[in-house]
């Protein structure tokens, strides 16, 4: 766990009172950015010690002091108050959750050209922008930069940056580490509803991927209790579909009926349509209807997740028809040097097409695929990879390896069955 997460937890655990109000924080940060001393800025207005108390939220200073002090820093106090929201990050997150992406971009552009924010505030805003734009290298830069100044940040700012860290790890497909950071955040109180919605939604995504069913249903109920959730059409529908996938093994007919009902709600929303095809495809896959699973995922310009689902069918069935179709989809893409779990799984499917030897596939599964899939938790892709690896290990006489992983995914009955086939 990084230092920012630790610092955040310490501040919440100690229940330290946050007394640095917005204008006091901005005043202090702008003074430090300009390398101005307390004596220099306070001269002719108040004592240096009184300015220090203002900056640290220890006194309720009159607006006349703020006006004069801001002017010392080349800022118009009235314009600052007029031109920036009191709580910019919850505001941006709410816009994002409501899918008002154009408004988010417009507001961020407006902020970037204004001087009413401190450098650390700007970095937080740009961090969020890079994450929602999937500019992950840029996001990593801002996370590193903000880590350096963590001790100067407020409790709420630390919460936000920590959430961004979890979101970054999620987007990097490191679901287990992201889940650990989310666990820290769920234990903290006095969190704004916008932040709760964002956090619970992220936890649901991670829980769905890692098949943590208990956690999924727990936070599904918590999310439904939040008022803001009723305004979030896309997010709500995505989690409904994920819920159907998780309950499907107990009643496939009911699950398929519910998915059919949802088709009327997609509204040509690309995000919803992609999620629908993925969830329906996984249901078919888990039901053993592999051709239907493949057909469901085989859409125009399939996402990485959908391509990985098709790869799972190819690996599972080794069906010639699907193999030929799959080869056409991935023939122009090179996944060999990629560390993305989905891409590596797709690469494993390509080995079947290229007729790799059992030894070659065994070492790829052992040294590359399974270790990378480990970051995703125990999902359907990892289960299949372990099953395939186990069968390869048994075939090659490497029985220790076969036992090591098979127990993780298979009941003893299935284990014994495979051993009997040696």
Question: What is the tens place of the pLDDT at every residue in 198-236?
Answer: 999 999 999 998 888 999 999 999 999 998 888 889 999
8 A C-beta contact, residue 310 and residue 322: yes
Chain CA centroid to CA 53, Å? 39
What is the C-alpha end-to-end distance of the chain, expressed in Å?
Answer: 44
- 276 confidence band (pLDDT: 50, 70, 90): very high
Question: What is the tens place of the pLDDT at every residue in 18-56?
Answer: 433 677 878 887 888 888 999 999 999 999 999 998 887
The pLDDT of residue 417 is: 45
Distance CA 168, CA 175 (A): 10
CA distances from 235 to 238, 392, 400 (A): 5, 40, 44
- 282 confidence band (pLDDT: 50, 70, 90): very high
Q: DSSP string spanning 246-265? A: HHGGG-HHHHHHHHHHHGGG
Distance CA 54, CA 60 (A): 7
Domain boundaries, the chain: 15-83, 356-420
* Residue 299 burial by Cβ neighbours in a 10 Å radius (0-12, 13-18, 19+): middle
% residues pLDDT > 90 (the chain): 38
Question: What is the tens place of the pLDDT at every residue in 320-333?
Answer: 777 778 888 887 66
Question: What does the angle CA 18 – CA 21 – CA 22 come to, to the nearest 5 degrees?
Answer: 130
Is 15-83 CATH 2.130.10.10?
A: no
Nearest Cα to Cα of residue 314 among 406, 402, 359, 381: 381
The pLDDT of residue 274 is: 95
Q: Residue 288 pLDDT > 80, yes or no? A: yes
- 415 confidence band (pLDDT: 50, 70, 90): very low
Question: What is the tens place of the pLDDT at every residue in 116-158?
Answer: 777 888 889 899 999 998 999 999 999 999 988 887 788 888 8
More confident residue, 189 or 174: 174
8 A C-beta contact, residue 349 and residue 315: yes
């Amino acid at each position: 766990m990084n230092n920012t997460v630790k610092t955040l937890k310490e501040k919440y655990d100690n229940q330290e009172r946050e007394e640095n109000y917005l204008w006091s924080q901005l005043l202090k940060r702008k003074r430090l950015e300009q390398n101005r001393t307390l004596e220099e800025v306070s001269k002719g207005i108040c004592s240096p010690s009184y300015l220090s108390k203002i900056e640290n939220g220890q006194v309720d200073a009159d607006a006349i002091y703020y006006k004069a002090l801001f002017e010392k820093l080349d800022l118009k106090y009235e314009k600052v108050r007029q031109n920036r929201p009191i709580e910019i990050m919850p505001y941006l997150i709410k816009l994002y959750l409501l899918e008002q992406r154009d408004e988010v971009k417009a507001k961020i552009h407006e902020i970037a050209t204004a001087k009413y924010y401190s450098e650390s505030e700007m970095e937080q805003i740009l961090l969020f922008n890079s994450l929602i734009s999937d500019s992950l290298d840029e996001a990593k830069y801002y996370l590193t930069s903000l880590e350096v100044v963590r001790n100067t940040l407020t409790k709420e700012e630390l919460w936000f940056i920590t959430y961004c860290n979890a979101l970054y790890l999620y987007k990097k497909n490191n679901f287990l580490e992201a889940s650990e950071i989310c666990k820290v955040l769920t234990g903290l109180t006095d969190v704004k509803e916008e932040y709760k919605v964002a956090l619970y939604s992220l936890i649901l995504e991670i829980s769905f991927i890692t098949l943590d069913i208990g956690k999924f249903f727990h936070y599904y109920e918590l999310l439904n209790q939040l008022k803001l959730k009723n305004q979030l059409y896309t997010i709500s529908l995505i989690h409904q579909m994920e819920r159907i996938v998780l309950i499907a093994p107990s009643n496939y007919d009911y699950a398929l009926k519910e998915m059919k009902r949802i088709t009327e709600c997609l509204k040509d929303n690309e995000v919803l349509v992609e999620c629908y095809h993925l969830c329906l495809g996984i249901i078919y896959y888990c039901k053993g209807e592999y051709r239907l699973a493949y057909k469901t995922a085989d859409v125009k310009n399939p996402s990485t997740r959908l391509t990985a689902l098709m790869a799972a069918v190819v690996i599972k069935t080794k069906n010639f028809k699907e193999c030929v179709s799959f080869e056409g989809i991935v023939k122009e893409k090179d996944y060999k040097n990629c560390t993305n779990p989905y891409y590596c799984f797709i690469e494993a499917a390509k080995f079947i097409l290229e007729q790799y030897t059992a030894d070659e596939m065994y070492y790829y599964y052992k040294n590359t695929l399974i270790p990378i899939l480990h970051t995703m938790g125990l999902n359907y892709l990892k289960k299949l990879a372990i099953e395939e690896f186990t069968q390869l290990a048994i075939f090659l006489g490497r029985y220790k390896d076969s036992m090591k992983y098979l127990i993780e995914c298979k009941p003893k009955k299935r284990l014994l069955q495979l051993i009997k086939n040696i």
